[in-house]
């Protein structure tokens, strides 16, 4: 369904630049009387605005006065420029002290806190001044250093060391091993034993202390 209001932007674009061939004339202009009327009104409004450009200008009698005032301002401007060049440093300093910069409140508060903090820190960390250092004069003096003769001395020291338990046990183990290595005695055996009918018993007296 055709909507005249939705078509308005296209009509404005067309009214602003009717010579633009890239914009095709909407079909509504042919069919819709309201759109056609609106387009004509827009074109006329812009045409009148264009005419106002000229008609709003003042008449010829205005311009000599305008020129005179402009020239006066130009001369004053160039004079002040020359003066500024002469007193450039003064102006710079003046601007430095009089100019202002807009800073957001949180940033300003942060800066202020930082400054106060750094000032307090500087006060706390200040140390007492030290005494002035004496003046150092460098002078070369020859001093004889006696040379010491080298004497040789032989020092003998006897160190007694206790044998360690491990060493002792190791020695014992060595002894046992040596004993084992000895040729084994022939084991006692009854081979060839012949019992006899006679037993000779020899008693030797006085072999014991309490023997009677």
Q: Is 16 in the site for another protein (CB under 8 A)?
A: yes
SS percent in the chain: helix, strand, coil, step 5: 50, 0, 50
Q: Is 49 in the site for another protein (CB under 8 A)?
A: yes
Phi-psi bin for 118: left (phi > 0), alpha (psi -120 to 50), beta?
Answer: alpha
Token digits for 181?
């290595």
Q: 80 vs 167, which CB is nearer to another protein?
A: 80
Query: In angstroms, rounded to a whole number, what is the distance separating the alpha carbons of residues 191 and 185?
Result: 16
Q: 32 vs 42, which CB is nearer to another protein?
A: 42
Token digits for 72?
């006066």
Among 25, 27, 40, 116, binds another protein (CB under 8 A): 40
Among 18, 25, 27, 66, binds another protein (CB under 8 A): 66
Cα separation values, 170 from 144, 155, 165, 166, 180, Å:
64, 34, 8, 6, 15
Q: Which positions from 74 to 113 touch another protein by CB under 8 A, shown as an x/- string?
A: xx-xx--x--------------------------------
In whole angstroms, the minimum distance from the beta carbon of 74 to another protein comes to 6
Residues that bind another protein (CB under 8 A): 8-9, 12, 15-16, 37, 40-42, 44-64, 66-75, 77-78, 81
């Amino acid at each position: 369904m055709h909507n005249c209001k939705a078509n308005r932007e296209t009509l404005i674009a067309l009214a602003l630049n009717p010579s633009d061939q890239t914009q095709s004339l909407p079909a509504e202009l042919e069919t819709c009387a309201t759109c056609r009327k609106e387009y004509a009104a827009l074109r006329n409004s812009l045409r009148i605005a264009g005419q106002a450009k000229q008609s709003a200008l003042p008449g010829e009698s205005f311009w000599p006065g305008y020129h005179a005032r402009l020239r006066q301002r130009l001369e004053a401007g160039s004079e002040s420029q020359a003066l500024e060049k002469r007193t450039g440093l003064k102006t710079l300093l003046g601007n430095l002290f009089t100019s202002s910069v807009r800073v957001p409140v949180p940033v300003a508060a942060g800066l202020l806190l930082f400054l106060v903090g750094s000032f307090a820190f500087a006060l706390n960390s200040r140390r007492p001044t030290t005494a002035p250092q004496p003046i150092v004069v460098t002078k070369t003096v020859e001093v004889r250093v006696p040379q010491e003769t080298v004497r040789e001395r032989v020092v003998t020291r006897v160190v007694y060391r206790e044998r360690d338990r491990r060493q002792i046990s190791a020695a014992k183990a060595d002894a046992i091993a040596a004993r084992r290595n000895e040729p084994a005695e022939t084991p006692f055996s009854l081979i060839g034993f012949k019992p006899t009918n006679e037993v000779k018993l020899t008693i030797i007296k006085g072999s014991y202390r309490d023997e009677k």
